Structure 1
Amino acid sequence: MSKLFTPTDFKGITLKNRIVMSPMCMYSCEREDGKVTPFHFTHYASRAVGQTGLVMVEATAVQPEGRISANDLGIWDEGHTAGLKQLNDEIHAYGAKTAIQLAHAGRKAQLESDIYAPSSVRFNQDFKEPLEMTINDIRETIDSFKNAARRAKEAGFDIIEIHGAHGYLINQFLSPLTNLRQDDFGGSRKNRYRFLEEIIASVKAEWDGPIFVRISSNEYDEKGNSMDDILYFTERMKEDGVDLVDCSSGGVIPASIPTYPGYQLNRCERIKKETDIATGAVGLITTGIQAEEILQNDRADLVFIGRSLLRNPYWPKAAADELGTTLDAPVQYKRGWK
């Protein structure tokens, strides 16, 4: 059997294959209340039917001011738990495991309310100027991640991913391009890491399952974090009990990013080999052969599939056919999958 379709385990959570549905915002909360809608049930359950091993729910805001848009999912309130639990039940029914990406948009929130960031610097002229977070704001946000982890556990998720990439709040603290603070949360890379460090600790206080962290491994600016900085952060995450680093890139500042198949893989592979931590590969991975090469050459431990799964909920079946692997079909679809 191909490695793509070999099970793998994280802290007792066994994924039936190495295919992950990458977290992708759907902007589909109709009442701007952060609650799951009928669209979400159809969208996520269909990828589980298609035999994706791990279905990761989109960036879900731990505070209302942390939404990227007013139509984002939320987990900042007890009222969100019931819908998320029902969503988990539907996904689990088809043999997939579930993850939720806990997120805060920081200065990239496009909301009518005040928005917050480590420093009062806007993303570009089309975005609002954020308020610089006070120490009390920082403490409240860390507590919000803790409370979100508790709700995620109550809702039945198997894995939590902390969103530290794409220029959102955690990434804003990590990057010298966006963090101009002179206190314990700014300056040195040790201090810039402190916000994420305390969020990981707060999540672990409520959560004993696997923890992934998504990072931007390349900021596409020579004044941003270097690869040495990224390796330092991943070493610290490993020490703090993170199980996998999901290696994306960009989003910290406006930048023109050259993309091509596997364009983020070199840094993902380097993080895996130099830090000895499990990694997830993402970025224009479109075929089963490409995914298999990544895994067989030990360049990553999981492959995160984004746009390809938007185009085809049955991408795992197409990949299995490409690799000559027999994939068990949901009982309802056996006639068509023979």
Structure 2
Amino acid sequence: MSASDSIIGAIGRTPSVWLDRMVASRGLEGRILAKLDYLNPGFSKKDRAARGIIDAARADGSLAPGQTVVELTSGNMGTGLAIVCSVLGHPFVAVMSRGNSPERARMMTALGAEVVLVDQAAHSVPGEVSGADLALVEDAARRITAERGAFRANQFAHPGNAMAHFDTTGPELWADSDCSLTAFVDFAGSGGTFGGTMRALRQRNRALRGYVVEPEGAAALAGQAVTHPGHPIQGGGYAMAELSLLERGLAHDFLTISGDTARQTTRALARQEGIFAGFSAGANVAAALDLLAGPEAGGRIGVIICDSGLKYLSTDLWSDG
């Protein structure tokens, strides 16, 4: 592999590993293929979407040379945008809820971003970002975009997000599995990873089934009543009933995972497989294990290891484990 001209060229083409130890320890039949997107330069899968959105916006002229970029983030998208914008000469403003772990803000600042922290909604819990918290961050992001004449990256709606996963994540997963995947599972954040990856996988296997994962008590996409909008799985599960990038028609079913199950599975992922990941990766693997114990028994399921456990050192993900 030849050297890249910048760190942007190192985004994507992450390795994949089979989680055979976790599967065997539970007496299950089948395999889980984990794509290690925490090995991207910004330590998360959002590097792909950041590059996809900025490349598309520069190409169509909606982002002018040197123009400021603004986006709401739980930290991962902001880190990806901080990297891409720094290299391409765009000032970047990250707007984030104080409910997210502080490691994320520090990393974005170190990468040259201006970080605006937004207070949580009344009765919200630090470390648990709800849809109400996200709405406050959205309001702040809109205001700052207007004040600065900035380009809004808009990860929840910009087609460059899903297209990045269609162009890269899906084809990579399929090739890494030796063209053997029978299902794909993904925790719902912006919906771009699921929508783009599933479109690519379905082009290669029309029978491949897709499963969307939501937090227990906040499964709005599945049409369930929202009883616990606050949960520890940062970066998604905002109890939003619609995500335009998700492509519902590609979802065979919707699954729920509790915060505690995600936590325990993330810890098991570290101890059994040596993969030091975050909450949403644990949710993905837990859902895949449930599927191997049920309707996908004997199958081969693809999952994304969304981000690094380093971004959660101040949370209870590791503190009492």
TM over 0.5: no
Structure number with larger C-alpha Rg: 1
TM-score (norm 2): 0.33
Greater RCO (CA < 8 Å, at least 6 residues apart): 2
